[in-house]
Amino acid sequence: MAEPVLEVRGLCKSFGALKATDGVSLTLEAGEIHALIGPNGAGKSTLIAQIAGQLAPDAGEIWLGGREITGLSVAGRARRGLGRTFQVSSLALEFSALRNVMLAVQGRRASSFGFLKPVMRDRRLVDPAHEVLARFDLEGRAGVTAAALSHGERRQLELAMAFALEPRVLLLDEPMAGMGAGGTTALTRVLAAMHGSVPMLLIEHDMDAVFALADRISVLAEGRLIFTGPPEAVRVSAVVREVYLGGEG
């Protein structure tokens, strides 16, 4: 098997006596959607924050595309190809949808120390941004400020920005959070369409979406990874039922 695109090795993070991440190792293979599930407080957000670079782990390593990124900043990791979305949308709210995506294109393709050329006349930024917006059904909202977009549109925009980075890996932190049933179905379709083009580590509470999308599912409980396997195996796993799906199954 080829080398995994993203690999987490023995990651640990404690807050005082609480072990939020307790020796977590996982991989993300080329083209797959790997879902990470677990009850509230299992340490999913802490894990994502360490992979993205917002939190420094106490121990362990993170490798992206065969290079260690454990010591890199958030921006450094993004430049190496780590795209992400946030649980609570994080956008430049005063910018239009187009300018938000342009910023991602800029981060990917151009230096931010351009002092002469107006961005709106820079086709290297504007054209790819329009293409990405069209792909995420936001073309009609290109000129609307992010602050004026609906909740669902903001989620779409975040995804569009992550996609515009042309990432090697996407970390999706509860992309369905706060979406209605219709929105969840639509977003599941969008993610399914992206399946295969970029590997995704998907944190999600919506089990329908998880089982519809994931190639593999890992279950996190109390900071430890207790199970990794294909969706069918997760469904029938006794240990997973006990800590997580028990109430529902």
Partner 1 sequence: MSRVGAETVLNAALAGLLLVAPLTALGLGEPYYANLASRVAILALAGVGLNLALGQGGMISFGHAAFFGIGGYVAGISAQAAFNGAAVVSWPLEVMGSNVMPPIWAAAMLVAGLVAVAIGAISLRTSGVYFIMITLAFAQMIYYFAISWPAYGGEDGLSIYVRNGFPGLDTYDPLSFFLICYGCLMLALAFSWRIMGTRFGAALMCARMNPERLATVGIEPYPVKLTAFVISAMITGLAGALFADLNGFVSPSMLGWHTSGEIMVFVILGGVGRLFGPVAGAALYVLLEHVLGGLTEHWQLLLGLILLGVVLFARGGLVGMVTGSARHG
Q: Which residues pair with 26 in a beta bridge?
A: 8
Report the distance separating Cα 143 and Cα 162, nearest Å.
19
To partner 1, the closest distance from the beta carbon of 236 in angstroms equals 38
Consecutive H or E run containing 168: none
- Which of 24, 31, 30 is CA-nearest to residue 55? 24
Contact residues toward partner 1 (CB under 8 A) are 52, 54, 73-76, 78-79, 84, 86, 90-95, 99, 102-104, 106-108, 110-120, 122, 125, 161, 165
Report the distance separating Cα 195 and Cα 190, nearest Å.
9
To partner 1, the closest distance from the beta carbon of 66 in angstroms equals 19
Nearer to partner 1, 78 or 213 (CB): 78
Collapsed DSSP state (helix, strand, coil) of residue 23: strand
Take residue 218 and report the two structure tokens written for it. Answer: 């890992």
Nearer to partner 1, 165 or 234 (CB): 165
Collapsed DSSP state (helix, strand, coil) of residue 187: helix
Sign of CA dihedral 27, 24, 164, 150: positive
Nearer to partner 1, 202 or 210 (CB): 202
Q: What Rg do the C-alpha atoms of the chain give, in angstroms? A: 18
To partner 1, the closest distance from the beta carbon of 88 in angstroms equals 11
To partner 1, the closest distance from the beta carbon of 145 in angstroms equals 9
To partner 1, the closest distance from the beta carbon of 201 in angstroms equals 15
To partner 1, the closest distance from the beta carbon of 226 in angstroms equals 30
Nearer to partner 1, 85 or 218 (CB): 85
Nearer to partner 1, 83 or 223 (CB): 83
Consecutive H or E run containing 36: strand 33-37
List C-alpha distances in Å: 157 to 35, 86, 130: 21, 11, 12
